[in-house]
Structure formats: C-alpha cells, structure tokens
Amino acid sequence: MIFDIESLTGECDCGATHSLTTREILIESGATGRLGDIAGRLGLGDGAVVVCDDNTRFCAERISDVMGRSMHASPIVCLPSKDLHADEHAVALLDVMLPPDAGWLVAAGDGTIHDTVRFVAKERGVRFVAYPTAAAVDAYVSATSAMTWHGYKVTVPAVAPIAVIADTDVFSAAPYRLTVSGLGEVVGKYTSLADWKIASLLTGEPYCGRLASLIGEAADAVRSVMPAIQRGDKGGYEQLMYTLLMSGTAMQICGSSRPASGAEHHLSHLWELEVINPRLGALHGEKVGIGELLILERYKNLLASGALTGERVIREYGGLPTRLLRVGFGDHYGNIISENTPDPLSTVDLDALRDAMPDIRAIVESLPAPAQLAGQMSDAGCKTALDEIGLRGSIRDDSLMLSPFVRARLTLQRLSALLLSRDAAQ
C-alpha cells in the first residue's frame, strides 16, 4: 500500500510549512527484504543493531539475516518481554545492553519497544528505523515517547524514525488481540479530531484541516474493512496499519499528540494512574476504544440535552475544582495541579464559545452514533464495555469527571464544565 510521505510535506493550506524526519514509509508484503535498499538510499551505513523483545526476536533474526554485513558484530539486543514497560527501567536496561558504537537502530516490536528505542536513540544521537510487528498503536512514527517516569505517565521529546518498514506478512500474523487493540486506537480518532477542531475554534490553536481529513477518511476506511480484518484479509490489515501511521505522521508534523489524542485518551491515561481503579491488564487500544464509546455517548448526550445551543446555557468559569482533584487524585494531586497551571479552561473567552456553538454542534452531529460503532467493534472482536477490561460500570461517572485533568489539553469534555443543559439553565 502506497504511503505518499512527500505529499504531506511543504507548504500547506493551513498556513504552516510541514516537515518530517521520516523519509520513507513502506507497508507491503515482504517489506523486510527491502530494508537493505532503503538503508542504502538513506545513507545509514553499517553497524545496525536491532532492538526487540523475546516475542519479536524471530523478526530481529530475519532482519539480521537480510542485512548481512551491514549489521553490528552484536546485531541483536533482546529485552525481556515480561513486565517490560516504556519506563526508567527499560531505558536503563537498553542503555546497558546496547553496544556503545551502534551505528543505527531498528526497533522491531510493539509500542513499548518503539518508545524505549526512540528515547535512547535521541540520547545516543543515532538514527532508527521503525519496524512495527503489530498494527496495535499509532505511535510508531511519532517524535515523542510516551514514558512512565517513577509511576507518572509523561510525554517526552525523543526522535522520530528515519523510515518505517511495515511488513504485512509480519504484522498480519501478530496475535489478534493486538490487532483489535489497533482498531480501538483508530476509532479513538473520531473524538480526538473533534476535540482538536473545537479547541482551534476557541483558542486559535494550530489546526490542519488537510491532516484531519486524511486521518478521518482513513479511520472511516478501517471501519468498513473491520469484517475483512477479522477474516485475515491482508488488504484490511494494510488499511489499519496505514491509518495508524497516518495518525502518527500527523503527530510528528504537528510536534504534539494533539491530532490523535483527545478526551478518549484522557480516560485511558486516568485508568493508567490507578487512582480510582486497580491495575488493569488491558492494552492501550482496548482502553482507548472503550474510552471512545464513553466520550461519544457523552458528547451526543450534551447535544441531546441542549447544552450545545449556546446563549443562556454558558456559565462563568469558577476555576479548578481543587477539592475534587485532591480527593480524586490523592498522591498525584501536586502533579495534576502543575499540569493544569495555567488552566486551559481559563483562556476560553465565553463570547467566543457562544459564537462557536453552531460549529461545535455540527462537529458533534457528524460524530458516529456510539451504539452503531460499538456493534461494529464488537463484531470485529473489540472490547466495548468497562467490565471487559476489569473496571466496574460504576466507575464511569468518576472517570468522565476526573479524566479531563490528566492533561492540560482543551477538549469538549473539559469545556462541558461551562455548559449547562437546557433543563439545568431554567
């Protein structure tokens, strides 16, 4: 499948000039065999080291065979997959295991391997090639690492891959649970794109309509091939990988996760903090997919309740609900306060909000119906209910209330603190 990376760079109608570190993205059957050509074309030289874990070691060996003499004398660094997370331990371990004279790196694995490699690649000042072994997350091509430092999830600057080699024969053979997690990640784009557009209307935050439509159209295409993916159709898998990489490319262009992460991701981040729930064994995309359904339902309810009609239904902002945050976030309270200083809601002009209300309404009207999406997801094997990822249903309201504060990012869910329903306004 063609991923035309060149057409995404240069001057854009949004007023920005887009640039990318990533120079090639290849999604095709047998792509592994073309790694040598691409490395040659990009002038990567010798001394390549593949970083994998024990689940993806067979891929690392295949890459090492294909690349032959271009590899380092110690060509493979295999991290233990048990309890492997993108955190300070994984970074320290990779730093010790990686030969000091490694010329360039290949990240062969899932999101954890990629986040760890891109962080260490930045510290070492070496380039790396992304080799995703499953269509599970959209961060393979991003320039930031989602890391957990001492128990607190942060996004840190790292380095984007110089190329992405996605071999359909490899990622379509990944455990199906990883693939359905990728489907959850993709459906999450509906509300992340809506939040991005709404925030740009109110704060003038940079917004690119072209990138947004590319991601939105690609997500629609994935929805239509969900049954094909379940049947194992390789074209369907490629569409899924294409969409994940398009979303990651948009993040790289924008220099932030804004296009790909909104209120639905904030729910996932909240559950990862484990302040109102036990530790979950769920994958990122499983949490995002369920988060998406909760946020879609919430946004459609705002619409139905008349809260998006403007005029009398907007109230003055009373500042951060510090008592709620202290009780809700416990030990993380200090981090939450510094994350929310300055408070993104305090910059919203109420007149601008009133003026933007017809546009906001139209954006929410265009979002998919949650019940229909849940049906499609469920047919494809996705988890769609809180109890399927180990959360009680009663956690829903607290999750919706607290999650907007995990990131200083304006979303419609965050804005809804200013919106009263028609009934409440009377």
Residues that bind Zn ion (CB under 5 A): 12, 14, 185, 208, 210
Considering the complex, what minimum distance in angstroms separates the CB of residue 15 from Zn ion? Answer: 7
* Inter-residue contact 312 to 256 (CB < 8 Å): no
Nearer to Zn ion, 102 or 253 (CB): 253
* Inter-residue contact 335 to 152 (CB < 8 Å): yes
Considering the complex, what minimum distance in angstroms separates the CB of residue 189 from Zn ion? Answer: 9
Nearer to Zn ion, 210 or 354 (CB): 210
Considering the complex, what minimum distance in angstroms separates the CB of residue 241 from Zn ion? Answer: 15
Give 78's strand partners. 52
Separation CA 98–CA 104 (nearest Å) = 11
* Inter-residue contact 348 to 418 (CB < 8 Å): yes
Considering the complex, what minimum distance in angstroms separates the CB of residue 355 from Zn ion? Answer: 24
Considering the complex, what minimum distance in angstroms separates the CB of residue 12 from Zn ion? Answer: 3
Nearer to Zn ion, 210 or 300 (CB): 210
Nearer to Zn ion, 139 or 302 (CB): 139
Nearer to Zn ion, 53 or 185 (CB): 185
Nearer to Zn ion, 208 or 308 (CB): 208
Q: Hey, how many other C-beta atoms are within 10 angstroms of the C-beta on 206?
A: 14
Separation CA 143–CA 18 (nearest Å) = 14
* Inter-residue contact 123 to 103 (CB < 8 Å): no
Residue-wise burial string across 9-37, b where 16 or more C-beta atoms lie within 10 A, e elsewhere:
eeeeebeeebebebebbbbbeebbebbbe
Considering the complex, what minimum distance in angstroms separates the CB of residue 393 from Zn ion? Answer: 23
Nearer to Zn ion, 250 or 348 (CB): 250
Separation CA 236–CA 223 (nearest Å) = 10
Please give the order of strands across the beta sheet that includes 104-109.
24-28, 163-167, 128-132, 104-109, 48-53, 71-79
Considering the complex, what minimum distance in angstroms separates the CB of residue 261 from Zn ion? Answer: 6
Q: Hey, how many other C-beta atoms are within 10 angstroms of the C-beta on 103?
A: 17
Considering the complex, what minimum distance in angstroms separates the CB of residue 60 from Zn ion? Answer: 25
SS (H, E, C) 61-110: HHHHHHHHHHEEEEEEEEECCCCCCCEHHHHHHHHHHCCCCCCEEEEEEC
Nearer to Zn ion, 188 or 370 (CB): 188
Residue-wise burial string across 289-304, b where 16 or more C-beta atoms lie within 10 A, e elsewhere:
bbbbbbbbbbbbebbe
